[in-house]
Amino acid sequence: MPNNAQDPTSAPAKLSAAATVLRLGLIGVVVLVSAGAFAYVGGWLSPDRLTQERMIAGFEAVNGPHPGFRRNHAKGICATGWFDSSGKAASLSKAAVFAPGRVPVVGRIAFAGGMPFIPDETATVRSLALRFLPAGAEEWRTGMIDLPVFPVASAQAFYDQMLASKPDPTTGKPDPAKMQAFAAAHPEFVAAIGIIKDRPVASGFANTKYNALHVFRLVNAAGEVTPVRWSTVPVDAFAAAGPAPASAGKNYMFDALIAEVAEHPVRWRLMITVGQPSDPTNPTLPWPADRQQVEAGVVTIDKLSSEDDGGPCIDVNYDPTVLPPGIELSDDPILSARSSAYSRSFTLREGEKGEKPPSAVTPQEVRGGGKS
Amino acid sequence: MSTAGPHFSIPSRLLHWLMAVLLLAMLFIGAGMAATVSDRYSLLLSIHRPLGIAILILVMLRFANRLISPPPPLPDTLPPIQRLAAHASHLLLYALMFIMPLVGWGMLSAGGYPIVLYGPWHLPPILPQDAELYAVLRQSHTVLAYLLFATFLAHLAAALFHGLIRRDGVLESMASLAVEK
């Protein structure tokens, strides 16, 4: 390459054929290496890498294709109401939502899993997703489930466990050998399942405690950081889950919730567990039981609506990394995994509106007070 | 247009190389974050949004700068087809650099996401919340990113072709460190 800037009016010396080929080859190599680096980063050269696409394809492989539905937490209804902040969490976080006062809430109550028409069962994991919308301030989204700990500690383990527990088409049950192999390779899963199996299972959606499971960092006005976990604890009294009534319809748990909300609002206390810096951010590990609890306020749900009735939760991606200033992510890898996979699911389902069949819980069911 | 000399003005060269670095970083961050479920995702996303807005501001500065100090003319010896390719690819690069951040911003607006730059610094939505619009914009963001990267490769190859094969001063007009105008 010439070292001096050339006078553009004077023609350079002619290149030999060999030099021309060599230089063209060099240009080709530079372009190919650039394209290759881009392809590598984009995952095209690593078919085994767990990408968002593969994660969502895994959900579809296990649950079947359900266009227009969330790939996870597919069966659910919209729930709206408000949050009355006690102001007690304001010393921990500068987030506007924790200042004393009332904030509108748009939520969603659902079953975990990617099957939008699965019959209600108390054994299925339940979820409560909430979107807090303080006026003139940043919103906060959180998705909680009724497990005390998360069963896996990484996106890869989540994916492997999902595929290992896929029912065998011949027996209709997961292949025990695959689950045993997964368990053997994941002692943290075995320990978490032990805790999960021992949990009290409530009879319905309204008397269930929902846990965010992840560790977040609250930041107060002075810049002090506190690791926390949070849960919503039902105001309704706990009643243990029993066998489904003989007359139970496919949506009997949703119908019970609809009937209850038709009579009176349902409430949960938002409890913030204050951690120590040494407490684990691994979501499979519980925190010591003696950690201080702060009641940040009360979530009230006074209205439910079907997803097919213009429910306000339909086009909301309950991405747990949508946080206002004053709440920050921890290094829990499941947070990024959820955010990235939800993003992919959201893009797919928002593009499939025209193909979506009616949701399991219909507008008539919700408006009629829950009797299908 | 100009007989002043073979170089782009110093502001033009600064803007070009600054944006080259930012844009390449942006394309790699984008491709990487769209293909990962790892804990890098949230970090990459938090860089991607403010970087996109920085590029949007810089490209507007660049439009203004281009009006103030137009680029030096291409050599007269350049065949018309290469001249056309040069102008068309530059137009495409400018268009994509301008449109990509707007599609990203619009897509977050239509998807109902808060548009976080950093901490309390947020942008207002530029489109109403609309599911189908979101889906279209999100797909467009990907397709346009591939097109932008392909155009960048063509730009890179053409620059090297000027520098190594034609040796007509075009590469030096941008790649020179010379201080004269």
The pLDDT tens digits for B115-134 are 999 988 999 999 999 999 99
B114 closest CB neighbour out of A23, A314, A322:
A322
Best of B21, B23, B24, B37 to substitute, by most chain A Cβ atoms within 10 angstroms, is B37
**Given A66, A73, A186, A214, which residue is catalytic?**
A73
Tell whether A102 lies on the interface with B, counting CB pairs under 8 A: no
The closest CB to that of B39, out of A20, A319, A331, belongs to: A331
CB contact under 8 Å between B163 and A336, yes or no, is: no
Is A214 among the residues known to form the active site?
A: no
Of A41, A42, A336, Cβ closest to residue B42: A336
The ipTM is 0.93
Residue A369: predicted pLDDT: 72
- DSSP SS3 for A39: helix
Minimal Cα distance from B107: which residue of A?
Answer: A347
As a whole number of angstroms, the distance between CA A349 and CA A353 comes to 7
- Given CB atoms, is A331 within the 8 Å cutoff of chain B? yes
DSSP A97: G
pLDDT digits (tens, 9 = 90+) for A114-149: 999 999 999 999 999 999 999 988 999 999 999 999
pLDDT at position B180, please? 61
Write the Ramachandran bin of A73: left for phi over 0, alpha for psi from -120 to 50, otherwise beta: left
Residue A172: the pLDDT is 83
Dihedrals phi, psi of A11, to nearest 5 degrees: -70, 135
Binary contact (A49, B35; C-beta < 8 A) = yes
- The whole-number pLDDT of residue A370 equals 61
- Res A262: pLDDT: 94
Q: What is the greatest pairwise CA distance in chain A?
A: 95
How many other β-carbons are positioned within 10 Å of the β-carbon of residue A2? 13
Residues of A in contact with B128 (CB under 8 A): none
**Closest Cβ–Cβ partner in A7, A20, A325 for B119:** A325
| Predicted local distance difference test score (pLDDT) of residue B181 | 47
Q: How far is B138 from chain A (nearest CA, A)?
A: 7
User: pLDDT per residue over A305-346, tens digit each?
Assistant: 999 998 899 999 999 999 999 999 999 999 999 999 999 999
Q: What parts of chain A have a pLDDT lower than 70?
A: 1-11, 370-372
- pLDDT tens figures, B85-119: 999 999 999 999 999 999 999 999 999 999 999 98
Residue A156 CB: number of other CB atoms within 10 A?
A: 16
Show residues of chain A in contact with B6, CB under 8 Å: 5-8
